[in-house]
Amino acid sequence: MGRLFGTDGVRALANGELLTPELALSVAVAAARVLIESDRSHMPLAIVGRDPRASGEMLEAAVVAGLTSAGANVVRVGVLPTPAVAYLVGQTQADLGVMLSASHNPMPDNGIKLFAPGGLKLPDELEERIETAVADGHGLVGRPTGAGVGRVHDLLDGAEHYIKHLVASTPHSLEGIKVVVDCANGAASEAGPTAYEEAGATVIKIHAEPDGLNINEECGSTHMESLIETVLREGADLGLAHDGDADRCLAVTASGEVVDGDQIMAILALAMRDAGTLTGDTLVATVMSNLGLRLAMKQAGIRLIETKVGDRYVLEELNANNYALGGEQSGHIVMPAFATTGDGVLTGLHLMATIATTGKSLADLASVVHKLPQVLINVKVKDREAGANAPTVQAAVALAEAELGETGRVLLRPSGTEPLVRVMVEAETEEQARTVAERVAAEVEGASPA
């Protein structure tokens, strides 16, 4: 069996070759067993939530069966955003959280995300033990019987607790702000608009009628055309776009310009610095964030720490050093004072609070970041490491970096799952970025032809 967990749990075609009910049951049993082994003082408690996609009903049944068969009590919270499930794990002092979602992926996909006590992502050591137990089948023997079998309960007001927490975190009333919210027909279709309204905003919601089949379908953070159209038609101050499980937030200005995660991070970082809540005047982002964010933060006197791609690496850096803000260009923004994972609705609330506090438009606030043109070329190779690290490739990168100077950069990143080397170049003009990227890509291809 190959690597089961990616950077954000297990994700694949639901009921396909990998992500079957049998696998979901095995993962649940193994996760419960690992927790029982680490703490036998009480019967473990697990929180289980899902997004609205149809396959979630099937996988939820399998996960609940697996957890209870291993001796864990289960509280089902139903359809809720991923960050809501993480929040409830912490609030109920649960031993485990399970979220069934494939985030921004199309409806046929689904995923299993696991949370440790406190609503934190599982540390690598626990994840590896769970993965080993699934592969060996050790979790499927010696199950409890009688009173040792777990029980199942439903929490009907989980969304209310989550929304109350979000609104309480918002530093300024949103009264006077008119916002269009694209809910992606996903998990935040009720919680998102409700939280924004309770914080004072006037809300127009779109794509907020999930039927199990329409999640992320031509909507949400990966398809923002209808959001832009609605913002312009309604004369709204801004638009917000979530993905299927609402751990992302992207925005649209009143004139229809997209504001990405890098710009949102810059806006929040400056606001938090001014409020004295940006720990160490430090922002955490990944290596894929635009150079424009780095230059803006440097000019503002804010230190930018880079991590590998993946919100789990951002989270590790934030937690290790008690930093207050981090995220990704895709719109995963993490504010550890209020959430243990990326939270799109929390991000939307604090973004609008900054607009309300400063009296500036979103366009004005976002203008602090001058995004440099970015070109990405995926090069098929036989050997990823050779393609990225060959002397001829490194020489080409060094030459490109000298040519670009401080107003550009080159990033080579071997894919973690495919025979590809990703060549990303940023420069002052798109033409220059593409020319340099194609030159470096040619060297990568020559060093390890597919």
The predicted-structure confidence for 284-304, as pLDDT tens digits, reads as follows 999 999 999 999 999 999 999
Question: Do 177 and 82 lie in a common domain?
Answer: no
Give the residue from 56, 5, 87 showing the smallest Cα distance to 244: 56
pLDDT of residue 141: 64
Burial of 151 (0-12, 13-18, 19+ CB in 10 A): exposed
pLDDT of residue 138: 61
pLDDT of residue 414: 87
| Domain end residue (candidates: 345, 366, 387) | 366
Question: Do 117 and 180 lie in a common domain?
Answer: no
pLDDT tier at 85, thresholds 50, 70, 90 = very high
Does any domain span residue 128?
A: yes
The parent domain of residue 380 ranges over: 374-447
CB–CB of 36/29 below 8 Å? no
| Domain end residue (candidates: 104, 130, 156) | 156
Annotated binding site: 103, 243, 245, 247
Helix (H) or strand (E) holding 151: none
Rounded to the nearest integer, the mean pLDDT of the chain is: 94
pLDDT of residue 285: 98
| pLDDT tops 60 at residue 273 | yes
Question: Do 218 and 307 lie in a common domain?
Answer: yes
| pLDDT tops 60 at residue 1 | no
Does any domain span residue 1?
A: no
CATH number at residue 361: 3.40.120.10
Across 259-273, average pLDDT: 98
pLDDT of residue 71: 92
pLDDT of residue 39: 62
Question: Do 179 and 148 lie in a common domain?
Answer: no
Instruction: Give me the DSSP letters along 160-178.
Output: HHHHHHHHHH-SS--TT-E
Burial of 68 (0-12, 13-18, 19+ CB in 10 A): buried
Does any domain span residue 3?
A: no
Q: CA dist 430 to 175, 293, 435, 438, Å?
A: 40, 17, 8, 12
Strand partners, 380: 420
**Any residues with CB less than 8 A from the CB of 146 and at least 6 apart, and which?**
none
Burial of 289 (0-12, 13-18, 19+ CB in 10 A): buried
The answer to which of 56-65, 321-330, 386-395 has the lowest mean pLDDT is: 386-395
Question: Do 243 and 300 lie in a common domain?
Answer: yes
Across 425-435, average pLDDT: 94
Question: Do 147 and 193 lie in a common domain?
Answer: no
Highest mean pLDDT among 259-263, 313-317, 419-423: 259-263
Give me the phi and psi of 100, to 5 degrees please.
Answer: -100, 105
pLDDT of residue 249: 98
The CA distance from 35 to 42, in Å, is 10
Does any domain span residue 228?
A: yes
The residues carrying an active-site annotation are 103
The per-residue pLDDT for range 347-370, each reduced to its tens digit, is: 999 999 999 999 999 999 999 999
| Domain end residue (candidates: 126, 156, 186) | 156
Highest mean pLDDT among 34-43, 133-142, 319-328: 319-328
The per-residue pLDDT for range 101-125, each reduced to its tens digit, is: 999 999 999 999 999 999 998 888 8
| pLDDT tops 90 at residue 279 | yes
Question: Do 131 and 184 lie in a common domain?
Answer: no
pLDDT of residue 142: 75
Does any domain span residue 412?
A: yes
Across 307-313, average pLDDT: 86
* Residue 426 DSSP label: E
The per-residue pLDDT for range 198-231, each reduced to its tens digit, is: 999 999 999 999 999 999 999 999 999 999 999 9
pLDDT of residue 417: 63
Annotated binding site for Mg(2+): 103, 243, 245, 247
Question: Do 308 and 333 lie in a common domain?
Answer: yes
Question: Do 82 and 108 lie in a common domain?
Answer: yes
DSSP 3-state of 46:
strand
Question: Do 81 and 178 lie in a common domain?
Answer: no
pLDDT of residue 2: 53
Does any domain span residue 360?
A: yes
Q: CA dist 70 to 121, 145, 237, 264, 318, Å?
A: 21, 9, 51, 43, 33
Does any domain span residue 2?
A: no
| pLDDT tops 90 at residue 4 | no
**pTM of this structure:** 0.92
Question: Per the structure, how many domains does the chain have?
Answer: 3
Question: Do 416 and 353 lie in a common domain?
Answer: no
Does any domain span residue 346?
A: yes
CATH number at residue 435: 3.30.310.50
Question: Do 209 and 303 lie in a common domain?
Answer: yes
The per-residue pLDDT for range 147-183, each reduced to its tens digit, is: 999 999 999 999 999 999 999 999 999 999 999 999 9
CB–CB of 344/188 below 8 Å? yes
